[in-house]
Structure 1
Amino acid sequence: ISSPCSGLPSSSCWGRGAQSVVTQPPSVSVSPGNTVKLSCTMSSGTSISGYNVYWYQQKPGNSPRYLLRYKSDSDKHQGSGVPARFSGSKDTSSNAGYLTISGALAEDEADYYCAVWHNSACHSDTDRWGMQPDTGHVRAPMKHTYSSKQYVSQDPRDHRGMIFMTFQ
């Protein structure tokens, strides 16, 4: 299972405001039946505690699939048809969100993308990915690789859009 952050090249970004940096390990391995925990760590200076953490799964040749949104144990959402073995969590002390896959199956091998956002609107609607930036909807990741291992998102407080950058 690999876990790069997803992306649009910077020329396709929109919106204004400060930037927050979110990082994921480039890859992680797990044996079938075991549990794996993917991390999404927010840069210092912005606390992850008040934000939603979104997780998406993408298999080769397929569009990204929304898995879940996690803000707290009392404020979370599981995507339609997403098995209960996928769960979200947060650790404010490490300023990170997590995706746990319990009892991993061979079919879970995929790229996993995280995103941090201030509200729960729009971002589960992957059918709308690919729309123009001025619609305010999230655009799909594009195949673009950066050498730096980081994900850059528009300030989550800016409702106009989310900026994705890739890494491998």
Structure 2
Amino acid sequence: MVSESYAVCVYCSASVDDSVALDLATRVGDEIGRRGWQLVSGGGNVSMMGAVAQAARAAGAKTIGVIPKKLVHREVADTDADELIVTDTMRERKQVMDDRADAFLTLPGGIGTLEEFFETWTGAYLGVHAKPVVVLDPQDHYRGLFEWIEELRLRGFAGREAVDRVLVTKDFDTAFAALRPSR
């Protein structure tokens, strides 16, 4: 992939109104801009998705929003994005996001966030891409999920290599260090 600068795709909620989650999204967007990176997001301007994009832009980052036509009004399309790509389908949206990103960061979210995360994680494990996959979870939003995944590993349904392909951390600095590993 050729890009102006390093691009991080952030998966997160487009529906929650939790102040702690919104503060985390704002902090993430600010850090992306502070580092001179680009943000690739789901193209919505609501909830955490909107907060991360607004903060990234305020900190000087280029923002690339990718949203399917069907969600333009539901997620209130981020018309302030430096580049807003409207796709025909969700599958096309995810492919564009995957293609435009150099790394993936998952923040708290629901079913849609999980679906995007799992597809990205599976692609990394299967060798479809070699991009960093990180989950920043300071409030234990995903604790039960990763306990269950560890149980799957112990029962032989997921190998250690697959589980180790994603970094799950509560620590902000650790997450950002893993997003751009030293080369």
TM-score, normalising length: structure 2: 0.28
* Rg comparison, structure with higher value: 2
Which one has the bigger helix percentage? 2
Q: Which has the higher contact order (CA 8 A, sep 6+)?
A: 1
Which one has the bigger strand percentage? 1
TM-score, normalising length: structure 1: 0.29
